[in-house]
Structure 1
Amino acid sequence: MESEQQSAVPTPALSRNRHLLDEVLGEADIRINGDRPWDLQLHRAEALDEIVARHSLGLGETYMRGDWDVPALDQFFYRLLRADLTRHIKPWRHAGRILRSYLINLQSRGRAFEVGERHYDLGNEFYSAMLDRRLTYSCGYWREAETLEQAQTAKLDLICRKLGLKPGMRLLDIGCGWGSLVSYAAEHYGVECVGVTVSKAQCDYIREHYEDLPITVHLQDYRSLSQSFDRIASVGMFEHVGHKNHRAFMRVARRCLKRDGLLLLHTIGKNQRRSTTDPWIEKYIFPNGELPSAGQIGDAANNLLVCEDLHNFGSDYDRTLMAWHRNFEEHWPRFAGQYGQRFYRMWRYYLLSCAGAFRARHIQLWQWIFSERLEGGVQRVS
């Protein structure tokens, strides 16, 4: 996989004593002030103590401040996560966060719009520069694609074919983003579409750009849905639902599906049921976010919907994120004055750390197909 590298003026190696992180990072074949693209270049020695004390938050925040750099940040995280250095983290450090997630519904109706305001409403021009033509902010399908545009079009068509869309059907898109799926389905499959989103910027964009298509968009929480649909899709939204609401989501889908209807659930997933959300990602990128495990999704659908198919193409997200990062770097001069250097370092850390995580298979990308019926089946499409 192609890797990211940044050009930077070499800085003299800091004079310092050997640190615990020298040994820990060494297990991942990462050297402090080494000469390889994935080696960490240290600019402030005190940052090492902060990383040891605060783990993920310390690592991300010291990077955002410019305390260290890595020429190929994606390779750094790939090696870090493949080495499974979590055994160096004492279990009690996460106890409070785990308890908090079980005591508090972090994805309640009152909190539902927070991620829209803080992440998706950053600016439509910014996302237009980073994403493809339809502003598809989810994993592309690279099986036969060479470009980001081709990969996202292939993903949208794959979803439509898996759902068996036909003219005259009604499609609900829960978490419709900037309307990539509903616009594609309306244009190419002749279906009537309804989208819901918690982002005002996304809602306004769809109404402005697709007024000539049979698309209706609502700024609302998914739990308020009650209409009836032939097909339902949710692409890249389930990561905001949270384990306390997984069952409620499936109940909404079941309530809104017509008899013999189908639900396609496209979501990032984690490998371990009881692992916690990365604290840096939750604080700076996706507030209240929580990746589901396969077991949690199965539990949520139990006795409500039937799993007809499960498709994992998580490795494709690595390539998608690298394409987004190239676009981000290319267009950054347009936005530098608006967002500033701290945002620049935060955003590239987000894109490239996630690319490394998918490359290491630390997280996955699943497409689930669920049916309303308890008998029969659907044809698998790949």
Structure 2
Amino acid sequence: MNRSKSIITQLLDSAGVVINGEHPWDIKVRNENFFPLVIQQGSLAIGESYMQNWWSSPQPDAFIAKVLSARLDEKIHKSLSLKKHIFLAKLFNHQGHIQAFKNGSRHYDIGNDLFERMLDKRMTYTCAFWDGVKTLDAAQEQKLDISCQKVHLKPGMHVLDIGCGWGSFAQFAAERYDVKVTGITISKEQAALAKDRCKGLPVVIKLMDYRDLSGQYDAIVSLGMFEHVGYKNYRAYMEIARKCLHDGGLFLLHTIGSNRSSVFTDPWIHKYIFPNSMLPSIGQIGKAIEGLFVMEHWENYSADYDKTLMTWYHNFKEHWNELASKYDETFFRMWEYYLLSCAATFRARNSQLWQVVLSKNGVPGGYRFERHTTKKDSTMY
């Protein structure tokens, strides 16, 4: 116990974190078992011990950002359970057709009441774009508008939305750009609410896996779904997207990304939040699109995701009294840790948020994107 405490104390000190210190990123340890457990299990132990209230911090996000910026996660050896997880990820396809529905249900079917209180009015569960706007609603609509413009939407086009969530993009694109949208999701709760929210619009919502897609579309968008595809399926996903895209069409891939190629996710995130999720690297995306697409445009919005997650956290905390009868205190600390730790990964620049525009054969004369305010949304911000 004393040796593990000494090791952790020294590591935290190198990151500028003091146990029982006075800075907002310092931590207070309530259970001494925290120290040997972190040595044994790394990030999984940090998350689980937070859920058990073994440690606290005035700003857990700031603490985790300090730890990640100092790369302390690389200084603790991988546990046996993590090595097993990596081995199994290489051996099996944990994002296969049947498993994909189970993975999605574990998170997205928790309860629409939770997401309604946490997200914006359109229930957009992806990074908002905050340039020049101050509210979550405006930032999410700005992201949706930019996404529409990047694939050059025009009235009458038919758009495929892979991973449509609760229908935010489909609803926005149909209303503001006069297009038809087919959206797919593997979440029953999302599909049901998306159909209701898009009622009366030229929008079709389907409960289906991307591997079952057919037909061709004028444009494709995928906002925050690629993180669930898995490295064994990246190439197949891109092949299907190419097959479904008209020759002159554009495909917008919006995904969280990692600085390094990997075959597994953070153990705590895998166990409690997004089972079998995986963040692609630039190299993995490049390999998946090679020979299938031309990369026309690539942007990074990682700082925007930090702010988005912190806003979701404040919404969640503000409305907790409305949710407490359904979700217990352990869930509160789990969800709090999820939102704050993820914000920290973007703040430390460990995670990125990319929007990538792809074409099948290259845009004649080159692709151009210049953000403009449409007539319909000129008063939005």
Q: Are residues 1:296 and 2:284 paired?
A: yes
Instruction: Identify the match of residue 8 of structure 2 among 21, 31, 35.
Output: 21
In structure 2, the partner of 1:378 is 367
In structure 2, the partner of 1:191 is 179
Question: Structure 2-normalised TM-score?
Answer: 0.94
What do the CA deviations read for 1:187-211 (whole angstroms, capped 9, x no partner)? 0000000000010001000111211
In structure 2, the partner of 1:235 is 223
In structure 2, the partner of 1:42 is 29
Alignment partners' CA distance in 2, 1:294 and 1:16: 40
Question: Structure 1-normalised TM-score?
Answer: 0.93
Question: Cα distance, 1:150 vs. partner?
Answer: 1.0
Does the CA contact (< 8 Å) of 2:261 and 2:280 recur in 1?
Answer: yes
Alignment partners' CA distance in 1, 2:3 and 2:253: 50
In structure 2, the partner of 1:51 is 38
**Cα pair distance change 1:375/1:71, threshold 3 Å:** closer
Counterpart AA for 1:122: I
Question: Cα distance, 1:60 vs. partner?
Answer: 0.7
3-state SS, counterpart of residue 133 of structure 2? coil
In structure 1, the partner of 2:210 is 222
What do the CA deviations read for 1:132-159 (whole angstroms, capped 9, x no partner)? 0000000000111111111101000000
Unaligned runs of 5+ in 1: 1-14
Does the CA contact (< 8 Å) of 1:116 and 1:200 recur in 2?
Answer: no
In structure 1, the partner of 2:275 is 287
Counterpart AA for 2:171: S
Question: Cα distance, 1:91 vs. partner?
Answer: 5.6
**Cα pair distance change 1:286/1:91, threshold 3 Å:** closer
Alignment partners' CA distance in 2, 1:174 and 1:17: 46
Alignment partners' CA distance in 1, 2:351 and 2:3: 35
Alignment partners' CA distance in 1, 2:79 and 2:98: 30
Instruction: Identify the match of residue 211 of structure 1 among 169, 174, 199.
Output: 199
3-state SS, counterpart of residue 339 of structure 1? coil
Alignment partners' CA distance in 2, 1:290 and 1:24: 27
Greater Cα offset, 55-64 or 114-123:
114-123
What's the % identity of the aligned pairs?
Answer: 46
Greater Cα offset, 29-38 or 323-332:
29-38
Greater Cα offset, 33-42 or 289-298:
33-42
Does the CA contact (< 8 Å) of 1:16 and 1:45 recur in 2?
Answer: no
What do the CA deviations read for 1:82-141 (whole angstroms, capped 9, x no partner)? 001133223675543332222111100011112321111111121010000000000000
Alignment partners' CA distance in 2, 1:373 and 1:169: 19
Counterpart AA for 1:215: V
Question: Cα distance, 1:354 vs. partner?
Answer: 0.6
3-state SS, counterpart of residue 286 of structure 2? helix
In structure 2, the partner of 1:7 is none
3-state SS, counterpart of residue 257 of structure 2? strand
Question: Cα distance, 1:276 vs. partner?
Answer: 3.5
Alignment partners' CA distance in 2, 1:277 and 1:131: 24
What do the CA deviations read for 1:313-335 (whole angstroms, capped 9, x no partner)? 11100000010011000000111
- Pairing of 1:197-346 with structure 2 (within 5 A): 197-274=185-262, 276-346=264-334
**Cα pair distance change 1:16/1:331, threshold 3 Å:** farther
Greater Cα offset, 221-230 or 41-50:
41-50
Alignment partners' CA distance in 2, 1:18 and 1:100: 32
Question: Cα distance, 1:46 vs. partner?
Answer: 1.3
In structure 2, the partner of 1:10 is none
Instruction: Identify the match of residue 54 of structure 2 among 67, 92, 95.
Output: 67
Does the CA contact (< 8 Å) of 2:19 and 2:27 recur in 1?
Answer: yes
**Cα pair distance change 1:361/1:275, threshold 3 Å:** farther
Q: Are residues 1:131 and 2:123 paired?
A: no
Alignment partners' CA distance in 2, 1:165 and 1:326: 34
Alignment partners' CA distance in 2, 1:365 and 1:150: 19
3-state SS, counterpart of residue 30 of structure 1? coil
Moved >4 Å (runs of 4+): 15-18, 91-94
Counterpart AA for 2:211: R
Alignment partners' CA distance in 1, 2:74 and 2:345: 17
**How many equivalent pairs are there?**
368
Does the CA contact (< 8 Å) of 1:271 and 1:363 recur in 2?
Answer: yes
Instruction: Identify the match of residue 369 of structure 1 among 357, 361, 366.
Output: 357
Does the CA contact (< 8 Å) of 1:128 and 1:135 recur in 2?
Answer: yes
Alignment partners' CA distance in 2, 1:283 and 1:168: 43
Does the CA contact (< 8 Å) of 1:60 and 1:349 recur in 2?
Answer: yes
